[in-house]
């Protein structure tokens, strides 16, 4: 959010005008409409969050896969996990499925901010997995 606040007013206005809503909310709305499911506002909010966190849960296993199958150190594997999620999920899948506006409708700073946020996600996954492995190795 801090990076968003640091953007120019022109970039923020362009981003806000392009965005149809949070992608996870748009995805939930499209799914319920396609299957003709009626949900309350609270149920829709919960489904939207399930989409958001579900995406993260789907990408997190990439980290241990990279650590076990390559010689990448934790930081590099975490950054690779976040970068892969950013490029594939945010930049390719989200606009392809219509969960966001086309990429060119957003200013470059929007893509940079999203990329940095996903790098942070990858590093958080790395920290969680490495901590879990350490705890498992050191248990009594």
Q: Is the pLDDT of residue 88 over 80?
A: yes
Q: Is the pLDDT of residue 4 over 90?
A: no
Give the pLDDT of residue 5: 83
- Give the chain's mean pLDDT: 95
Model pLDDT for residues 5-36, shown as the tens digit of each residue: 888 999 999 999 999 999 999 999 999 999 99
Q: Give the count of domains, the chain.
A: 1
Angle between helices 108-137 and 62-69 (to 10 degrees): 70
Give the pLDDT of residue 139: 84
Q: Is the pLDDT of residue 1 over 80?
A: no
CA atoms of 126 and 63, how far apart (whole Å): 7
* Structural domain range at position 9: 2-137
CA distances from residue 19 to 52, 66, 84, 103 in whole angstroms, order as listed = 16, 33, 22, 10
Model pLDDT for residues 56-66, shown as the tens digit of each residue: 999 999 999 99
């Amino acid at each position: 959010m801090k990076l968003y606040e640091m953007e120019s007013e022109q970039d923020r206005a362009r981003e806000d005008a392009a965005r149809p809503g949070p992608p996870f909310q748009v995805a939930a709305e499209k799914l319920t409409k396609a299957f003709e499911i009626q949900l309350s506002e609270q149920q829709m909010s919960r489904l939207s969050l399930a989409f958001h966190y579900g995406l993260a849960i789907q990408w997190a296993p990439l980290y241990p896969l990279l650590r076990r199958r390559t010689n990448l150190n934790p930081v590099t594997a975490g950054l690779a996990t976040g970068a892969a999620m950013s490029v594939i999920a945010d930049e390719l899948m989200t606009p392809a499925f219509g969960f966001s506006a086309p990429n060119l409708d957003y200013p470059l700073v929007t893509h940079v901010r999203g990329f940095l946020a996903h790098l942070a996600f990858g590093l958080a996954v790395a920290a969680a997995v490495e901590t879990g492995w350490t705890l498992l190795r050191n248990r009594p």
